Amino acid sequence: MILESMLQKHFGFSSFRAGQKEVIASLLGGQCTLAMLPTGSGKSLCYQLPAYIINKTIVIVSPLLSLMQDQAEQLKMRGEKKVITLNSFLSPQQKQAALKQLGNYRFIFLSPEMLRMRSVMSALKRLDIGLFVVDEAHCISQWGYDFRPDYLNLGGFRAALGEPLTLALTASATAEVRKDILEKLGLNGSNQIITSIDRSNIAITVEKVASYEDKLERVIQVASEMKGSGIIYFSSKKLAESVAAMLTEKGINDVGYYHGGMEQEQRMLIQQQFLGGQIRIICATSAFGMGINKEDVRFVVHFHLPMGMEAYVQEIGRAGRDGKQSIAILIYCEGDEGLPLRLAEQELPTDIQIIESCRFLSHHDHKPSQLPKSLQLDLMSKFSLNETQIRFILAFIKDGNPAEKAEEMRVYVQNRKLIKQDKFTAFYHWFQSSNCRRELLLTYFQEEKQEIIPYCCDNCGFSITRLLEEMPGEINQSSNGGLYFSWKKELEAILFSKRAVNDEK
C-alpha cells in the first residue's frame, strides 16, 4: 500500500490502472523495463510517480513536439515547476541558459534529434539521471509501423550517458517489435510488462460505401448524430481542412482541424481548445493524438485507411478513456487502399535518391551529422527529398563514408518498404473479413479474446441506434437535424483532395 499512498499524495488517485503498479515496482527494483500499455491507460504515470520517489532527474525522449509540450503542461498544471522541454523552438540564448540550469529540473523532455547536439549531451552527462524514458518506443524498431530514423541512435546515446535505468513505453507492439526495441536499446534481459491492447468499451465497426461522395455524406451524418467529442482522421492535410469547413457550413458547431503543416503555436491552440471543450470535433491527420489526455472522446472516425493494425489501435484508443461506451468507425470505399500504399513508398528515399544523395555528400568535407542547413536544403532541392527522407539519409550514414553506405541503405530501405506493405496487407485482410474484428485484432497482437462484449463489432452484430442511446453525453443539436444529405455539387470543390497523395501527416 506504500505505492498507493504515494499515488494518492502526488496525483490524487486511490488505485492504479492495469499495468501501472507492475511497471513502477519493476523500476523501483532497479530493473530496466519495457512496458506495453494500451492507449489511454496512463503510461506517463509510470515515470512521473517514480520521479518523486527516487528524487532524481528523469529524461524523457519523445517523437513529437506537441506530445512533449502537452505532457509538460499537464505536469505544470499539477503544480510541478521543475519541468523543461528542450526543442528546436528555443532560441540559442534560451537553449544556452536552459543547459546551464539543467540540473535544477526534475523532468527533462526532449526529442532524439536534440541528443545529437554535443552541448545537450555534455549537459546531460553532468546530471545524476534517475530514469531514461523512451516514449513511443516502437519508433526505434525497423518492424514498427511508425519508424523514426533518429530513434536508431538512442541505444548509443543511452550508453554514452552511462546506461541509466531505462523505461521503454509503447501502446501497440507485436512480440517481434518488442524484441527489436530491447536489442536496439541494449536492454536484453530486461523486464517486460505487457497488458492487453483490448479496449472493450470501444465498439468497432467498418462501413463500406459506394463512392467518395457517399463517404463525405456519411461523415456529415456521423458528426451530426454522435454524442460528445470526436476525432475524424485523414491522411491528407488539405482534406482535413476542407471537411472541417464543410461540417461548419452545414451547421455542425465547434469543429476544428489539426495537422503537421500548421504553425506550432496554432497547433497548440487547437489542441488546448479541444481539450477544454471549445472544439467538439477535430478533423486531423495522424499528427494529432499522441499524449492528448481527453477522457470523454466518444467517437473516432477513419476517413482514410491507417497504415496498419498498430496505427489503427493507437488512434481508436483515443476514444473512451473514461471507460464509458464509445465507438470507432472506419469508412471504406473501393480504391482507398491506394493512398496508404503510396504514402508508405514516400516515407523513405528511392534508389536513385539514395545513390545521388550519397554521391553529393561524398563531394563535401562535412560529416553527414554536421551538414550545414544550407547544404541540407540544397540536397533536398536537387533530389526532391522531403524532410523525412533527408533525416533518414543523414541518420543512416551518421559519420561514415557516404559512398560505402549507399548500397547498405538501399537494401535497408527496400526491406523497410516490404515490411510496411506487409503490415498494410494484414490490415486490409482485417477490415475485409467477416469474422469478429476484435478477435482478429487481438490475434494479431498474440492475444485471445477473453470475454463476450455486448457492443463488440459490426460483424458480431449490434444496434448502432441502441448504442447511441447508451453512450454518455448530449446529442449534437445542429441546424441540419442529423439528416442524411445528398448534395453532390457542393462536393466538387474538394474532390481534388482525393488525389492529394503528397501532403500526408
3-class SS at 133?
strand
Match domain 202-339+462-499 to its CATH number in 2.140.10.10, 3.40.50.300, 1.10.3720.10, 2.60.40.1260. 3.40.50.300
pLDDT at 136 over 50: yes
Q: Which residues of 34-71 are buried (b: 16+ CB within 10 A; e: fewer)?
A: bbbbbbbbbbbbbbbbbbeeeeebbbbbbbbbbbbbbb
CA proximity to 257, closest of 276, 236, 458: 236
What does the pLDDT look like over 445-463, one tens digit per residue? Answer: 999 888 889 899 999 988 7
pLDDT band at 334 (very low <50, low <70, confident <90, very high): very high
- Nearest-angstrom CA–CA distance, 446 and 435: 17
Instruction: Specify which residues 254 forms β-bridges with.
Output: none
pLDDT at 271 over 50: yes
Domain 2-194 matches domain 202-339+462-499 at the CATH topology level = yes
- Nearest-angstrom CA–CA distance, 256 and 273: 9
- Nearest-angstrom CA–CA distance, 270 and 398: 36
In this structure, of 234-248, 424-438, 443-457, 491-505, the range with the lowest mean pLDDT score is 491-505
Question: Whole-angstrom distance between the N-terminal and C-terminal Cα of the chain?
Answer: 44
3-class SS at 401?
coil
Q: What is the pLDDT of residue 467?
A: 85
Backbone angle region of 316, left / alpha / beta, with phi > 0 → left and psi within -120 to 50 → alpha: alpha
CATH number of the structural domain 2-194: 3.40.50.300
3-state helix, strand, coil in the chain (%, to 5): 50, 15, 40
Domain ranges for the chain, please list them. 2-194, 202-339+462-499
Q: How large is the average pLDDT for residues 121-125?
A: 95
Q: How large is the average pLDDT for residues 430-448?
A: 94
More confident residue, 233 or 398: 233
Instruction: Specify which residues 202 forms β-bridges with.
Output: 326
What does the pLDDT look like over 274-307, one tens digit per residue? Answer: 988 999 999 999 878 766 778 899 999 999 999 9
Whole-prediction pTM: 0.83
In this structure, of 41-55, 60-74, 98-112, 239-253, the range with the lowest mean pLDDT score is 60-74
What does the pLDDT look like over 364-399, one tens digit per residue? Answer: 878 777 788 889 999 999 999 988 888 889 888 877
pLDDT at 211 over 80: yes
